[in-house]
């Protein structure tokens, strides 16, 4: 930052560093706001891939903010005579300062942030699970931390260096698994026939939401059959599976369950539930 014009302004020696520091901070925050405004305008103009552009914007904003604030802090330290002017120019001085402040965790967060970005592990708008503890929609991916919005609308900031496991529910495709348990006493050939009709209905009505490779190769919903005869469940368990476009996995799951309830009622098929028997002692 070129603040040489301040030399022409006469201040008492003990006031000048404070005034210069305030001016440096003001200019720094103005520059950060300008960068954020500029990246937002670029996204509005290009409109190429909004989710990916928002991810890149988050990284660029974070990178420039760290760079500008680092220069600002170095200039302020220089004004108070805590470091030499030449230190600001040399990159070695910045590295020495960071190491001196014990910022190993910060460096770890930044490195992990770069890997997350370049490996495309997630992007803004994806629904993810982080460390099996946080579930939500990605809103920001910065160099130091990632922010997700939980279902409760709480915003959680997670340091990138602490991300050990990451599940991305919006990555390319998703398998929907439907479990249906019916009593042992039911007419099971009728149950199987009804569930196959449910699969045909879903495949026909929601064809555009199934995962496809090209125009013809895709995985439709199909009945696997009986997969369990556990008495604790109250009956026989059937499973229906299908592969869909990830953004529709919960939508289709709900529609399938709704249609199963409707068709079961029409065919007088009951849904099983655990039963408890009480025996009186004589």
Closest listed residue to residue 208, CA positions, set 167, 171, 251:
251
Q: Are 112 and 163 in contact (CB under 8 A)?
A: yes
Q: Which residues contact 119 (CB under 8 A, 6 or more apart)?
A: none
Please, which pLDDT band fits residue 83 given cuts at 50, 70 and 90? Answer: low
pLDDT digits (tens, 9 = 90+) for 165-224: 999 999 889 999 999 999 999 999 999 999 999 999 999 999 989 998 766 556 889 999
Question: Which of the four pLDDT bands, split at 50, 70 and 90, describes residue 255?
Answer: very high
Query: What is the rounded distance in angstroms from the CA atom of residue 28 to the CA atom of residue 20?
Result: 12
Q: Which strands, in side-by-side order, build the sheet including 174-182?
A: 174-182, 236-244, 222-228
Q: Which two tokens stand for residue 64?
A: 């420039």
Assigned token pair, 167? 């599940």
269 or 281: whose pLDDT is higher?
269
Beta bridge partners, 181, equal 237
Q: Which residue ranges form the domains of the chain, and what is each CATH number?
A: 4-167 (no CATH), 174-266 (3.30.70.100)
For residue range 140-164, what is the model confidence (pLDDT) as tens digits?
887 778 999 999 999 999 998 889 9
Length of the chain: 282
């Amino acid at each position: 930052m070129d603040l040489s014009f301040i030399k022409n302004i006469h201040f008492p020696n003990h006031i000048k560093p404070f005034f210069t520091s305030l001016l440096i901070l003001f200019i720094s925050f103005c520059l950060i706001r300008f960068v954020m405004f500029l990246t937002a305008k670029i996204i509005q103009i290009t409109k190429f891939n909004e989710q990916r552009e928002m991810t890149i914007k988050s990284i660029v904003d974070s990178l420039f903010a760290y760079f500008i604030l680092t220069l600002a802090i170095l200039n302020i330290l220089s004004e108070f005579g805590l470091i030499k002017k030449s230190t600001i120019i040399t990159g070695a001085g910045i590295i020495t300062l960071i190491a001196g402040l014990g910022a190993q965790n910060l460096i770890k967060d930044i490195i992990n942030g770069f890997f997350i970005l370049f490996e495309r592990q997630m992007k803004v708008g994806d629904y993810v699970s982080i460390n099996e503890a946080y579930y939500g929609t990605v809103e920001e991916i910065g160099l130091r931390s990632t922010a997700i919005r939980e279902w409760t609308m709480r915003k959680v900031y997670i340091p990138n260096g602490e991300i050990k496991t990451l599940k991305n529910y919006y990555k390319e495709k998703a398998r929907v698994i439907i479990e249906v348990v019916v009593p042992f006493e039911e007419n099971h050939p009728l149950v199987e026939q009804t569930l196959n009709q449910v699969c045909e209905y879903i495949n026909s009505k929601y064809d555009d939401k199934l995962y496809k490779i090209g125009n013809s190769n895709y995985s439709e919903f199909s009945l696997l059959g009986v997969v369990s005869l556990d008495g604790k469940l109250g009956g026989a368990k059937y499973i229906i599976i299908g592969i869909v476009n990830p953004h529709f996995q919960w939508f289709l799951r709900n529609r399938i369950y709704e249609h199963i309830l409707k068709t079961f009622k029409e065919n007088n098929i009951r849904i099983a539930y655990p039963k408890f028997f009480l025996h009186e002692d004589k």
